[in-house]
Amino acid sequence: MPSSARKVSAYFVVKNAAQAIDFYKQAFGAVEIFRMIDPSDGRVGHAELRFGETLMMLADEYPDFGALSPDTIGGSPVTFHMDTESTDAAVEQAVSAGATLLRPAADQSFGERVAQVLDPYGHRWMLSQTIEQVTPEEMQRRWNEGASA
């Protein structure tokens, strides 16, 4: 199988996709590549957004295809992890755009400064900034140490 066939991209399903696209642009600096509008009812049938180097896709709900938003199904078990240059600045930008702060920014033992926000469309985002290079062995040691404290 060619390596390009192994790429994984997230596909968001939301209510009010056109508004969500605007939110992701404002909150996370996403760049809209294109969108296709369903001619029968005006829903966004498919859109592509670039978040830094990552391509993500997005559409309005299509219950007949099983495409349901977190609002409809009562939440999502998925959290999107976004690398940032500054967690604090990313949180401020996201909250200013309408996200809800779930966890304030804090330095973590695994070498990242992390915060978590919920976007207005039901998706959780972990905003992260590398503050220290930590080996997997050191991460485990620190976790063990913290668990026994």
Note whether residue 4 is domain-resident. no
pLDDT given at position 4: 55
pLDDT per position as a tens digit, 93-127:
999 999 999 999 999 989 999 999 999 999 999 99
Which residues of the chain are modeled with pLDDT < 50? 1
Task: Assess contact for 14 and 28: CB atoms under 8 A.
Answer: no
> What is the 3-class SS of 5-68, one letter each residue?
HHCCCCEEEECCHHHHHHHHHHHHCCEEEEEEECCCCCCEEEEEEEECCEEEEEEECEHHHCEC
Note whether residue 34 is domain-resident. yes
Q: Supply the range of the domain harboring residue 24.
A: 9-148
Amino acid letter, residue 114: V
pLDDT given at position 46: 97
Note whether residue 35 is domain-resident. yes
Note whether residue 1 is domain-resident. no
Q: Report the predicted TM-score, pTM, of the whole model to 2 decimal places.
A: 0.87
pLDDT given at position 1: 45
pLDDT given at position 2: 54
Provide the CATH number for the domain around residue 120: 3.10.180.10
pLDDT given at position 7: 73
Note whether residue 51 is domain-resident. yes
Note whether residue 15 is domain-resident. yes
Number of domains in the chain: 1
